[in-house]
Structure 1
């Protein structure tokens, strides 16, 4: 007898209350195994694949791709024990007795499937409650068992886009690992089931999707050239003017919605102020070049400018701990934090994210650089977990990579400060009493005026600038 179980959207942690369905990985009628990923969802923190704690046949899916579901809402229903066709009724007493024995022997396995795996998956866990075990009473010999009613779920019709629909009799997920590749295919209406992956074991890579996009664009251009142009009919002077085009509306949800909420809250709650200074970064760039040259061609990863600036920030925060704090508005208290968890702004295809380098105050420049590189790669592929995006105490924002000199950063609530770094470029500068061309950078510090006054903020920024201009100053704190 099949048992229909309902799998609800689990609590993904970090206070998240909803998620957007990005892509279904299974179809109605597919057979799924325990802990098999069934849907890809996007939260305000990250994009994750949600595994199903039950094994059986998918009987219904709830929600279309692009829709949002609250935590606890039904995702799909699974018929446990329905992967095989039901046996025909037993014609005799002995056959009925044998069937009863087989049912009793198979019952524990069914109960075990319906209970869910209970495993901790993708950092969140299935959250399946312990199933109530039913006592199975053996049927009396010679008494035919009454047919048990089968609960039929009411399937919700799900619109499946052509890019993810069934193709050539194939069902289930295609050979794609990267969520960015799947999103790129959806944006350009590329059917992944028609592609042959060039990666290992037929894995579909971004290059495969890019090639398919180019082919589709060339085909569209060729079709446009072959369509004869229609004659243009001049409108009469009294013709009614065409209605203006409707404005495009883009929902603020997912990562973009979370960023909007956080920035709005920052500006509404934090009385921020900004100070800035130009610094001669010539010596810092020379020190970086010397560090990387000393490591040799195979001496490990290169030290980045961002890693050096991050190490300078941790040294400055040790001198000015007021800026490594937060404000408890309910208790009207400033909370100075014991450790530095350094966030750094990273622009991705999903939007702006701020990965966090844990315990940055205990790391040297090389260690910070390696962690920044690791987190940046996870951000680029959309694989950052919520834990890697929360808990920061101070943020470093290098907007110089966009080719701009300065900015007024918005504090990453509930932190107390953010340091912005512009591009480093050659400018005329007075050096040792003479005009020279030097590598100059603008540094901007936005701080919460509740945690400190301008003297503290200016002292912090001046120390950072001094370390940029004279990296040897750091030797006193290393």
Structure 2
């Protein structure tokens, strides 16, 4: 196997061996976020999609959900960082990479979009440096093909949470007047270390994350 795949396998094996993981997912309406991302793409003349909005939203939750960014130092003791450093999965056919977007909580969406695109181009060239791939304190795993309904991500060793974004789904629902209507939804998932968080904490984090997609910020 290629060296990159062996490295991925080692990380996944270590995660399964050492982290008592649990998982929960919520369904989030996505039409507002899609429209907002399209408007920002036109305004900034750079690609802004739902992943970029989600990364920005994750960063804003550092203050209200600090344990989702913490790592276990020893049994019963965690370290809470002062920066949201988000690892994002990228696979363009040359192996899986998880480059890190640092200080997301202090970075505008337009700059996050530029940095994420730069990472995609680096993945195409296979030119990541070690420093690009280390230091994440939370993971965003992208599984955005439209036929993917949900995905359970791996918690990186040294982190407590991994968010997953699945594919878009179209569903029929009843609007406030009781009439049938159509909307786009997505499953947001969270794998979490049960030594640090419980299901209530995970659901609260996902609900706040979903609400931020319903009311995405400019920037």
2 CA distance for matches of 1:263 and 1:402? 25
Cα 1:350–1:285 change in 2 (3 A) is: closer
How many equivalent residue pairs?
Answer: 218
Aligned to 1:460: 205
Aligned to 2:13: 264
What's the secondary structure of 1:351's corresponding residue?
coil
2 CA distance for matches of 1:430 and 1:365? 33
Aligned to 1:292: 41
Cα 1:360–1:274 change in 2 (3 A) is: same
Q: Deviations over 1:107-146 (max 9, x none)?
A: xxxxxxxxxxxxxxxxxxxxxxxxxxxxxxxxxxxxxxxx
What's the secondary structure of 2:25's corresponding residue?
strand
Cα 1:377–1:403 change in 2 (3 A) is: farther
Aligned to 2:73: 328
How far 1:332 sits from its partner (Å)? 4.9
2 CA distance for matches of 1:374 and 1:402? 24
Higher relative contact order, structure no. (Cα contacts within 8 Å, ≥ 6 residues apart):
2
CA contact (8 A) 2:34 2:49 kept: no
Aligned to 1:314: 59
Aligned to 2:192: 447
How far 1:268 sits from its partner (Å)? 1.2
Out of 282, 285, 295, which is 2:31 matched to? 282
CA contact (8 A) 2:94 2:123 kept: no
What's the secondary structure of 1:317's corresponding residue?
coil
What's the secondary structure of 1:323's corresponding residue?
helix
Cα 1:387–1:402 change in 2 (3 A) is: farther
2 CA distance for matches of 1:289 and 1:373? 16
1 CA distance for matches of 2:184 and 2:16? 33
How far 1:411 sits from its partner (Å)? 0.8
Out of 103, 128, 148, which is 1:359 matched to? 103
Q: Deviations over 1:234-293 (max 9, x none)?
A: xxxxxxxxxxxxxxxxx4x51111111111111111111101011111111122223234
* Moved >4 Å (runs of 4+): none
User: Does 2:75 correspond to 1:342?
Assistant: no
What's the secondary structure of 2:72's corresponding residue?
strand
Q: Deviations over 1:393-415 (max 9, x none)?
A: 11111101374121111112221
* Structure 1 alignment gaps of length 5 or more: 1-250
What's the secondary structure of 2:155's corresponding residue?
coil
Higher fraction of helix:
2
Please give the residue correspondences for 1:114-129 in structure 2 after superposition, counting only pairs within 5 Å. Answer: none
How far 1:317 sits from its partner (Å)? 2.8
2 CA distance for matches of 1:332 and 1:466? 31
What's the secondary structure of 2:144's corresponding residue?
helix
2 CA distance for matches of 1:301 and 1:369? 7
Out of 414, 424, 428, which is 2:172 matched to? 428
Cα 1:350–1:291 change in 2 (3 A) is: closer
CA contact (8 A) 2:146 2:169 kept: no
TM-score (norm 1): 0.44
1 CA distance for matches of 2:40 and 2:188? 23
* Structure 2 alignment gaps of length 5 or more: none
Aligned-residue CA RMSD (Å): 1.9
CA contact (8 A) 1:266 1:414 kept: no
Cα 1:256–1:292 change in 2 (3 A) is: closer
CA contact (8 A) 1:317 1:460 kept: no
Cα 1:466–1:384 change in 2 (3 A) is: same
2 CA distance for matches of 1:353 and 1:411? 14
